C-alpha cells in the first residue's frame, strides 16, 4: 500500500468551490502511476517493453467534499491480480483530519502494442512474479485498514 499526498489546486474546483468529481479519477491515476514507479514497476518502462495496461473499469464513491487549499492523502493498493487483469483500490482522506472523502477502484488489463490481451505469466514471468508479490502484500495491508 502506498500514500500519495497532494494539495488541491484552484483549477480543480467548481463554482461551489468544491473539487469537481472528475478530478478524483485523475487523482487515482496520479497515485497509481506514482505507486507503480515507487515499487519498480513504472508505466513508461512497461510501455517501452511493449506492455500496455488500459483502464477497463473505474469506480468512485464520494463521501465528503474538499476545497481549494486542502491537502489530501490518496492510499492506493493493488488489490487484484489475475492472468490478464489487475486492479487497485483507492481511499482519499483529508491530510489534516483523516476524514474519508472518497474511495474507489480501477481495473486494468495487460495488452501488447497490437492491442491483443496478454497473459503476463507467459509473456513476462518475472514481471508476473513481481505483480503477484505486490498484490499479496497490498491485499493483506488493505484488509487491515
pLDDT in tens, 1-28: 799 999 999 999 999 999 999 999 999 9
The total of structural domains in the chain comes to 1
Burial class from Cβ neighbours inside 10 Å (0-12, 13-18, 19+) for residue 140 reads: exposed
Percent of the chain scoring above 90 in pLDDT: 74
* Residue range 105-133, pLDDT digits in tens: 999 999 999 999 999 899 889 889 999 99
Q: Tell me which of 14, 34, 70, 73 is the catalytic residue.
A: 14
Cβ density class 113-138: b for 16+ within 10 Å, e for less: eeeeebebeeebeebbeebeebbeeb
pLDDT at res. 105? 98
pLDDT at res. 141? 87
What CATH number should be reported for the domain holding residue 32?
3.10.129.10
Residue 138, classed as helix, strand or coil, is helix
Q: Is the pTM of this model over 0.95?
A: no
Domain range for residue 36? Answer: 2-144
Q: Is 14 a catalytic residue?
A: yes
* Residue range 85-94, pLDDT digits in tens: 999 999 999 9
| H or E segment and range at residue 2 | strand 2-7
Amino acid at each position: 500500500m502506498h500514500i500519495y499526498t497532494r494539495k488541491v489546486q484552484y483549477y480543480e474546483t467548481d463554482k461551489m468551490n468544491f473539487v469537481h468529481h472528475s478530478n478524483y479519477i485523475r487523482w487515482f491515476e496520479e497515485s497509481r502511476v506514482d505507486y507503480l514507479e515507487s515499487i519498480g514497476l513504472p508505466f513508461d518502462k512497461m510501455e517501452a517493453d511493449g506492455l500496455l495496461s488500459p483502464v477497463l473499469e473505474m469506480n468512485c464513491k464520494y463521501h465528503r467534499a474538499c476545497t481549494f487549499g486542502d491537502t489530501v492523502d490518496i492510499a492506493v493498493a493493488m488489490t487484484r491480480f489475475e492472468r490478464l487483469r489487475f486492479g487497485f483500490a483507492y481511499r482519499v482522506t483529508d491530510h489534516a483530519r483523516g476524514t474519508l472523502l472518497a474511495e474507489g477502484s480501477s481495473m486494468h488489463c495487460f495488452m501488447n502494442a497490437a492491442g491483443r490481451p496478454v497473459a503476463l505469466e507467459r509473456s513476462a514471468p518475472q514481471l508476473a512474479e513481481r505483480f503477484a508479490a505486490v498484490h499479496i502484500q497490498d491485499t493483506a495491508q488493505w484488509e487491515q485498514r
